[in-house]
Amino acid sequence: MGILGQLPVWASKPCIMGIDEAGRGPVLGPMVYGCLYCACSYQKTLSTLQFADSKTLKEEKREELFEELKINKSIGWAVDVIDPRDLSAKMLKKNKINLNEISHNSAIGLVRKTLELGLLLTEVYVDTVGDPEKYRVKLSEIFPAIKFVVAKKADSLYPVVTRDRALRDWVLDETAENMQRNFGSGYPGDPETKAWLDNHKHAVFGFPTLVRFSWGTCNAYSKDNVEVVWESDANDEDESNGSACKRQVKLTNIGFTGVKRKSEDIESNGKGRCKFFQARKLELLSQF
């Protein structure tokens, strides 16, 4: 998360902040959350600087404004770049974290970082994710001293909210000779993006790290992947095929309680241990 930098001279005055994101929908690349903050007294001047929703501006204008933003001493800004691998890992973990929650956590993190910097933050405008009122209540409960305004397309309604430019020069971790960068916009419906996904899939390793592999778009490209069979799964399947069809009822399910055994006893006779360790005659050593 950056760039926060040093505490500006106007930080002790009441300040206003805008938060927005770029890259929520693409199947390629990171999702970027950005915030811009300034003294409330600077808001009128800010509205004259031609900042707007990045989708309404040409690339050349966005680059020009970004350079102006970086040297403007009356404005502070920060971004949170969420790696596509992190997005997919969180969305596919056992206790899943959906995209809305990831977005909320990123926005909350930006507010918290500016407060830790020492900024006197009094108002925050946020482009909504999900229900605007529920989102506003959530933010207000975490930061009760701040007035939050959450609205759809806040970047169009309030000039303080701007979009940070998406990262164009993504550094590919993979070094294969056939790696190409002509992946289009990164959105699932883009023909160039579809072609890039089709040309860069691997039957064993899947996709390059640029790809959000948790996106449903990737499922269509995974049909020909090599099937992976884990040893423990195969052992369990063999045992289940040789056992009776009816599932045995555990005594504990009908009120009986047994004597709990110490972990040392379980280790000594091998029962209750993972089949991986049993098959390889591996034992737990407590003394060396």
**Residues of each annotated binding site for a divalent metal cation:** 20-21, 127
Residue positions forming the annotated binding site = 20-21, 127
How far is the C-alpha of 35 from the C-alpha of 4, rounded, in Å? Answer: 10
For residue 196, the number of C-alpha atoms closer than 13 Å in the C-beta half-sphere is 21
DSSP, collapsed to helix, strand or coil, labels residue 185 as coil
Q: Is beta strand 15-22 parallel, antiparallel or unpaired with respect to 121-127?
A: parallel
Cα–Cα distance between 183 and 201 in angstroms, integer?
13
Contact present, 128 and 135 (Cβ < 8 Å):
yes
Cα dihedral: 7, 10, 12, 18 (round 10): -80
d(CA 19, CA 114): 12
Give the residue from 198, 190, 204 showing the smallest Cα distance to 218.
Answer: 198
Beta-bridged to residue 78, according to DSSP, are: 35
Three-class SS of residue 37? strand
